[in-house]
Copies of this chain bind each other. A is one copy, B any other.
């Protein structure tokens, strides 16, 4: 596996998702027939028996990459570490069950910090019926690392994957877009008046709300063809769904539901609104529904669960690419490719 050219570091050679593709090849699980979905979905899915599947996911928060300690309190950080994993289980339509937490702790962490962190983690998990059953503690020289592994369960026939979308399917999104991206921009700006005025956007950045009930309801409905959370940003993640489903997509900018306040934040901070709408750290669910009456079905779900659900576009054949009808009616390539840990933008 030695390279046949001078070694390059990953930022020069591969994007994060290019690297994940390579890793999938390197780790090819061979002949394990119990693996239903391996590397490359929101969570791995393995068969427990004829009917039941186990979901497994992990998500790591690294200080100064995913959070800054002066931007978030310990309890909220604990909740966030749980929430980002809960969202991965939600995106498969699963029911979260058990978690493990690994911490690499810098030397200045105090007992009260641990207590608050674990209280947040415990409470966020418990809200969705999950419990922490183990973990691991280590020292690190500087940056705090929190890695949570979360298991979930679901009937095999109900699991929703990224693959399965078909041309003609409607593309829907839960909730509203851009809150976390606007919150991040506000935190970076550090204007205390603005931070106070747009507190709900800042809080959306600090701690997302995982869409557990929605994910399970959509899984049970039998009407959804594919699903993903958009934590890497709308364009990147709809792209992952298109990759897995071997389809294209046409989104409509005038249908994208912006969170309350993001237009004003965009104007005040001089950020294009589109950048917020397509920003990362948004843990809403994007899902596709086949006809007939797909819009009526989704309207009914929205009313029953009291969760806003909006149609934002349509799945098209792969050859038609991934495009956006912009506010002027022009068709342009989908902007942005999502957050990539290995590319600086």
Contacts and interface: CB of A to CB of B under 8 A. Distances in A.
A43 B48 CA distance: 19
Contacts of A8: 110-111
Interface residues of A, number: 78
A10 B109 contact: yes
A30 B151 CA distance: 18
A147 interface: yes
A54 B133 CA distance: 12
A9 B98 CA distance: 29
A35 interface: yes
Contact of A137 (B20, B115, B132, B139): B20
A338 to B, nearest CB: 13
A316 interface: no
User: Which of A66, A102, A111, A126 counts the most B-chain CB atoms under 10 A from its CB?
Assistant: A111
A114 B22 contact: yes
A131 interface: yes
A55 to B, nearest CB: 10
B134 A58 contact: yes
A280 to B, nearest CB: 13
A327 interface: no
A140 to B, nearest CB: 5
A27 B118 contact: yes
Contacts of A60: 102, 104, 136, 138, 145, 147
A19 interface: yes
A35 B151 CA distance: 13
18 contacts: A1-B115, A11-B107, A23-B118, A26-B118, A27-B122, A29-B131, A30-B126, A35-B133, A38-B134, A39-B135, A56-B151, A57-B134, A59-B102, A60-B136, A60-B147, A62-B138, A62-B145, A65-B139
Which are the 6 A-B pairs with shortest beta-carbon distances?
A44-B133, A29-B131, A44-B134, A149-B149, A1-B115, A147-B147
